[in-house]
A and B are shown apart, each in its own frame.
Chain A
């Protein structure tokens, strides 16, 4: 070997640096879709033992990476080509951004010499994703590449997690460098605060001691930081009822006697009443989203607020906060537990428990249709809660939130912040790959499931046994519900049945061919199993049967077209104004 070749041996191409770094980070699973601008990377992936999942749409890949991350707590990785591949990732990146999910998205880019030329399949990917990533990079110098990958994973997974995108021009993938290792990470502008200020924590403990009607309001931060067990200890020590956001579900056991269920627009009446009556709200890893607070000026009028969050920009953003504490939920709870005194709150719990009894979540089991709430309850019963549930967006999502008592963190995957239809199914695929030992369901609407139904091919070819339960009402149900309640039943563009242009026809339910598509046949077309049920008596059998089948299954549940999600706080109203509650 001559000298030149020996030096060359120590050099790696950009694509090789990427693969080496991914292996070094113990990345075992990647979701994606190939194309000319990433062909060098795929060419190398081909020889690795990294499990690559070819989805049928880049949106499927990014949601699957997101579901993988939510179910496992590890970063999800997805890859797409330049231009249309990159733009197809956008919705999924935004979904992960809103819910603080760690994803590293890798995109190919045209060669650096062509950037800005409107080259074939060129878009300004870093520009397009700037507002929906925690950070993003365009690799311009191959010598910086190893360091960029290291930083990308670090930023995605630390502090308030979030998606990070790396855009890699083709010449960087092909070029060679001897700088193949990353150095220590030093980002002067990025130093997340993890430990809470002890003075503030002590002050919080004093407030808690004095409070007569405290409520804990927990969000997704509890799950992200792995603080669930500490939260249970904390709540039990101070005997304080706990309500969670949609993303906080599972962060506190759904069956715990201190649990109030979810609060907000479709929260329980007792959670909302408790918030409105409380004199102290202990918010942990939650951001006072408008779906939670209702009319903000009337939110919790008597309460002092303690706000614990890792993101200083979230603290005090939507509500005035009396004690802000910036830090990781787990570390802050640990410190708080040391200083807070045990407490009984007997009178307050009596009041809250009376509400619980008086205003329970209730639904009617109608004949000749399937009750969506009952489906959710049966899945929970049959799996004993030992399952992962993904949802789509709409009524299906809210019925899951209301009726599935999530006991463990990372068992609910749902698009909370962005509300992305089409999220659930690919996310369920990602979750099943992360936790193959658990049954994984996607509880879907007939509208949402069609947004990424092509991933049935991914599930079938890779034998990923996800169970899709379609709560089929023939409508874009949640929008139809708003039309019914606030738009005088003008069902504009929400009917999905055949003859949809004639709204009267949509009202009449004739089974099953009124429904489009025929989901059973569709499942079969993809090589999956389809089951259709029309009655509550069939629910348990169908779920059990689906669980016995190894591969993907669709259970098409024909539900009442005009079933609504109640209770409901109209958008912009105070949490006290709940309609459809069974008072």
Chain B
């Protein structure tokens, strides 16, 4: 089962290594991980997507909480939340395919961020299934390169987390 977990940490050197080590030392493969500062520049939020069994996952949450620089661990499993990922995709371009590609981009409300002679780069943001569908559709044109941010998530609940930043 895929899980998204959000870890609020002190913005200090070495924290990311500590957090990711909790996963790696238990044989968990991190599918994606994204980090950024919060409103409070002393704090950062790490969003991690992993796949794995329940028992180990519970253990991982406890171990994360044990880290001195970890302030709060939130598990979005079963929690009403919004999740997004941004992807940059560079696709092959030719006169013949241009129109068709533009149409796909429009339908998906993606954005063309760069166009060259024989390739263009598209930015798309959204949930997993949207991104996956887009990728499938442009694959036949030939994907040159793809870069993903990894998922970020936020709960729909209005209540602010303590130490939210």
Q: A126-B14, A188-B71 are contacts. A311–B66 as well, Cβ < 8 Å?
A: yes
**A-contacting residues, B90-139, CB 8 Å:** none
Give the segment of A129-137, A227-235, A449-457 that binds chain B: A129-137
Q: Does B79 contact A (CB under 8 A)?
A: no
**1/0 per residue A179-222: CB within 8 Å of B?**
00000000111100000000000000000000000000000000
**1/0 per residue A295-318: CB within 8 Å of B?**
000000000000000011100010
Q: A312-B65, A313-B59 are contacts. A189–B14 as well, Cβ < 8 Å?
A: no
CB atoms of B65 and A130 under 8 A apart? no
**CA A106 to CA B65, docked complex, whole Å:** 26
Specify which of A135, A187, A189 lies most central, judged by the most chain B CB atoms within 10 Å of its CB. Answer: A189
Specify which of A127, A136, A190, A311 lies most central, judged by the most chain B CB atoms within 10 Å of its CB. Answer: A190
**1/0 per residue B1-20: CB within 8 Å of A?**
00000000110011001100
Q: Does B68 contact A (CB under 8 A)?
A: yes
24 contacts between A and B (CB under 8 A): A126-B14, A130-B14, A130-B18, A130-B21, A131-B25, A140-B13, A187-B68, A188-B10, A188-B71, A189-B9, A189-B10, A189-B67, A189-B68, A189-B69, A189-B70, A189-B71, A190-B68, A312-B62, A312-B65, A312-B66, A313-B62, A313-B63, A313-B65, A317-B59
Q: In the complex, which residues of chain B have a beta carbon less than 8 angstroms from the beta carbon of A138?
A: 13-14
**B-contacting residues, A298-351, CB 8 Å:** 311-313, 317
Residue of A nearest to B12 (CB): A137
B: number of interface residues (CB 8 Å):
20
Q: Does B157 contact A (CB under 8 A)?
A: no
**CA A368 to CA B163, docked complex, whole Å:** 71
Q: In the complex, which residues of chain B have a beta carbon less than 8 angstroms from the beta carbon of A130?
A: 14, 17-18, 21
Q: In the complex, which residues of chain A have a beta carbon less than 8 angstroms from the beta carbon of B67?
A: 189
Q: In the complex, which residues of chain A have a beta carbon less than 8 angstroms from the beta carbon of B21?
A: 130-131
**B-contacting residues, A17-46, CB 8 Å:** none
Q: How far is the CB of B129 from chain A (nearest CB, A)?
A: 35
Q: In the complex, which residues of chain B have a beta carbon less than 8 angstroms from the beta carbon of A126?
A: 14
4 closest Cβ pairs, A-B complex: A313-B62, A135-B68, A189-B71, A189-B70
**CA A141 to CA B145, docked complex, whole Å:** 41
**1/0 per residue A125-169: CB within 8 Å of B?**
011001100111010100000000000000100000000000000
**1/0 per residue B144-165: CB within 8 Å of A?**
0000000000000000000100
Q: In the complex, which residues of chain A have a beta carbon less than 8 angstroms from the beta carbon of B59?
A: 313, 317
Specify which of B21, B62, B63 lies most central, judged by the most chain A CB atoms within 10 Å of its CB. Answer: B62
**CA A227 to CA B163, docked complex, whole Å:** 35
Residue of A nearest to B14 (CB): A126
Residue of A nearest to B163 (CB): A188
Residue of B nearest to A311 (CB): B66
**1/0 per residue B51-84: CB within 8 Å of A?**
0000000010011011111111000000000000
Q: In the complex, which residues of chain B have a beta carbon less than 8 angstroms from the beta carbon of A187?
A: 68
**CA A177 to CA B9, docked complex, whole Å:** 28
CB atoms of B14 and A155 under 8 A apart? no
Identify 14 new A-B residue pairs, CB closer than 8 A, beyond the known A131-B21, A136-B14: A126-B14, A130-B17, A130-B18, A134-B68, A138-B14, A189-B10, A189-B68, A189-B70, A189-B72, A190-B68, A312-B62, A312-B65, A312-B66, A317-B62
Q: In the complex, which residues of chain B have a beta carbon less than 8 angstroms from the beta carbon of A131?
A: 21, 25
Residue of B nearest to A190 (CB): B68
Q: How far is the CB of A533 from chain B (nearest CB, A)?
A: 47
Q: How far is the CB of B52 from chain A (nearest CB, A)?
A: 16
Q: In the complex, which residues of chain A have a beta carbon less than 8 angstroms from the beta carbon of B65?
A: 312-313
Q: In the complex, which residues of chain B have a beta carbon less than 8 angstroms from the beta carbon of A311?
A: 66
Q: In the complex, which residues of chain A have a beta carbon less than 8 angstroms from the beta carbon of B62?
A: 312-313, 317
Residue of A nearest to B162 (CB): A188
Q: In the complex, which residues of chain A have a beta carbon less than 8 angstroms from the beta carbon of B68?
A: 134-135, 155, 187, 189-190
- Band of interface residues on A: 10 to 19
Residue of B nearest to A159 (CB): B66
Q: In the complex, which residues of chain A have a beta carbon less than 8 angstroms from the beta carbon of B10?
A: 188-189
**CA A311 to CA B59, docked complex, whole Å:** 12
Residue of B nearest to A315 (CB): B62
**CA A65 to CA B35, docked complex, whole Å:** 38
Residue of A nearest to B61 (CB): A313
Q: In the complex, which residues of chain B have a beta carbon less than 8 angstroms from the beta carbon of A188?
A: 10, 71, 163
Q: In the complex, which residues of chain A have a beta carbon less than 8 angstroms from the beta carbon of B70?
A: 189
**CA A125 to CA B9, docked complex, whole Å:** 22
Q: How far is the CB of A166 from chain B (nearest CB, A)?
A: 13
**CA A190 to CA B17, docked complex, whole Å:** 18
**CA A189 to CA B9, docked complex, whole Å:** 8
Specify which of B17, B25, B66 lies most central, judged by the most chain A CB atoms within 10 Å of its CB. Answer: B66
CB atoms of A313 and B66 under 8 A apart? yes
Residue of B nearest to A137 (CB): B14
Q: In the complex, which residues of chain A have a beta carbon less than 8 angstroms from the beta carbon of B9?
A: 189
**CA A279 to CA B17, docked complex, whole Å:** 43
Q: How far is the CB of A312 from chain B (nearest CB, A)?
A: 6
Q: How far is the CB of A136 from chain B (nearest CB, A)?
A: 8
Residue of A nearest to B42 (CB): A188
Q: In the complex, which residues of chain B have a beta carbon less than 8 angstroms from the beta carbon of A134?
A: 68
**CA A96 to CA B42, docked complex, whole Å:** 31
Q: How far is the CB of B26 from chain A (nearest CB, A)?
A: 11
**CA A311 to CA B67, docked complex, whole Å:** 12
Q: How far is the CB of B38 from chain A (nearest CB, A)?
A: 13
**CA A315 to CA B69, docked complex, whole Å:** 21
**CA A317 to CA B71, docked complex, whole Å:** 21
**CA A155 to CA B67, docked complex, whole Å:** 11
Residue of B nearest to A317 (CB): B59
**CA A187 to CA B66, docked complex, whole Å:** 12
Q: How far is the CB of B16 from chain A (nearest CB, A)?
A: 11
Specify which of A130, A134, A135, A188 lies most central, judged by the most chain B CB atoms within 10 Å of its CB. Answer: A188
**CA A136 to CA B114, docked complex, whole Å:** 45
Residue of B nearest to A188 (CB): B71
Q: In the complex, which residues of chain A have a beta carbon less than 8 angstroms from the beta carbon of B13?
A: 138, 140
Q: In the complex, which residues of chain A have a beta carbon less than 8 angstroms from the beta carbon of B18?
A: 130
Residue of B nearest to A155 (CB): B68
